[in-house]
Amino acid sequence: MFDSLRYFASQIDCLRIDENLPFNVLNQINILDYSNVRILKLCKLDTIQCDAIRPENFPRLKHLSLEQTENFSLEVLCQFKSLHSCEIQSLNLTSEYSNLSSCIRSMFLRRCHPSDMPCLLHCFPQMTFLKICITLSTNDFETWKPTVNLVHSNMKSFDVYFLDYYFSPEETTVNKCDYVSQFLKWITFDPCIRYRLSLVNTRNFNFQQLPHILHQLRFTRLLLRFVWLHKYVSLPNIDCIRQIPLFNQLQMLNSDSLGALYHIIWNNTLLSNS
């Protein structure tokens, strides 16, 4: 079977290797045999495999997906000239990024620190879609000191997940809404972009404060989601949240043994007039 794959390797357009493949099968696949792929989706790469992902080895690559592979090089990513989109677990950012630039237009970064944003917005000036996951960790936000506001003029859609998975006794007095507010006010986009804000497992969160933040940002297209996973946190009193004027249309999308998902959407409506 693998001899046949190698024979037709130059004609293969998409290569996907996921974690469910047996180890003896993975050992027989050399990703360098598939240099003409346009779509490359890989999982759990070791250092040697990760180092092989370079533009000279995949000159036609348009989409790159790396799952469970930490700290892929930002410098290498910016060297791909045909790459249009990527899904990355995390990036190894460099402090010397002023000369780096990429033509990537769509990115999903599964692990992002607030301090990564200046680098991301600078190195991807053509990006129109950005999806990131940020942990609401006291350690991350207390060490993060934003200086100047960030601006990105080409962004059309911004999707940010605030994850509150890690909870320590030291955080019992911290209002996580302050962290969300600090981050959202720091980045300036066109008010007409599609904004998706997801709050996952929020604890110690001042829901009364959130409408004030959204009013200030003057979004016109916003989808706001609340996700609570029973493994990490109990469901708050939804009826109390719905008493807040801006959230009186909060709808349940799903509720099962794993958790609950609620959302509310504003389209072409200035939130400051809600």
Q: Residue 108: pLDDT above 50? A: yes
Mean pLDDT (the chain, rounded): 86
pLDDT tens-place string over residues 154-177: 999 999 999 987 665 555 567 888
Q: Quick one: pLDDT at residue 7?
A: 63
Which tokens belong to 150? 């960030």
Flag whether 165 is in a domain. yes
Between CA 43 and CA 192 the distance in angstroms is: 36
**Cβ atoms 39, 27 nearer than 8 A:** no
pLDDT at 274: 44
Residue 183 domain-assigned (yes or no) = yes
Distances (CA, A) of 189 to 217, 228, 267: 10, 28, 16
What φ, ψ does residue 139 adopt, rounded to 5°? -60, -45
Looking at the predicted structure, is the pLDDT value of residue 245 above 50?
yes
Tell whether 192 is covered by a domain: yes
HSE-CB at 96 with a 13 A cutoff on CA atoms is 1
In a domain, 42, yes or no: no
Position 162 in a domain: yes
Average pLDDT over residues 179-183: 88
Q: How confident is the model at residue 273 (pLDDT cuts 50, 70, 90)?
A: very low
Q: Which two tokens stand for residue 111?
A: 């692990």
* Residue 86 pLDDT > 60: yes
Confidence of residue 149 (pLDDT cuts 50, 70, 90): confident
Using a pLDDT cut of 90, give the percent of the chain over it. Answer: 47
pLDDT for 82 equals 94
pLDDT at position 3: 58
Question: Is residue 108 situated within a structural domain?
Answer: yes
- List phi, psi (to 5°) of 183: -70, -45
Distance of alpha carbon 73 from alpha carbon 50, whole angstroms: 9
* Other residues' Cβ atoms within 10 Å of the Cβ of residue 123: 22
Query: What pLDDT score was predicted for residue 147?
Result: 67
Quote the number of domains for the chain: 1
Q: pLDDT tens for residues 193-234?
A: 899 999 999 888 889 999 888 888 877 888 999 999 988 888
pLDDT for the residue numbered 104: 96
User: Does residue 151 lie within any of the structural domains?
Assistant: yes
**Gap between the Cα atoms of 64 and 102, Å rounded:** 14
Domain extent for 177: 64-273
User: Where does the chain show beta strands of DSSP type E?
Assistant: 14-16, 39-43, 63-67, 72-73, 85-88, 91-92, 106-109, 129-135, 150-151, 157-163, 187-188, 194-200, 221-229, 251-255, 259-267
DSSP 58: -
Q: In 3D, which of 77, 143, 168, 71 has the Cα closest to residue 112?
A: 71
18 within some domain: no
pLDDT over 60 at 270, yes or no: no
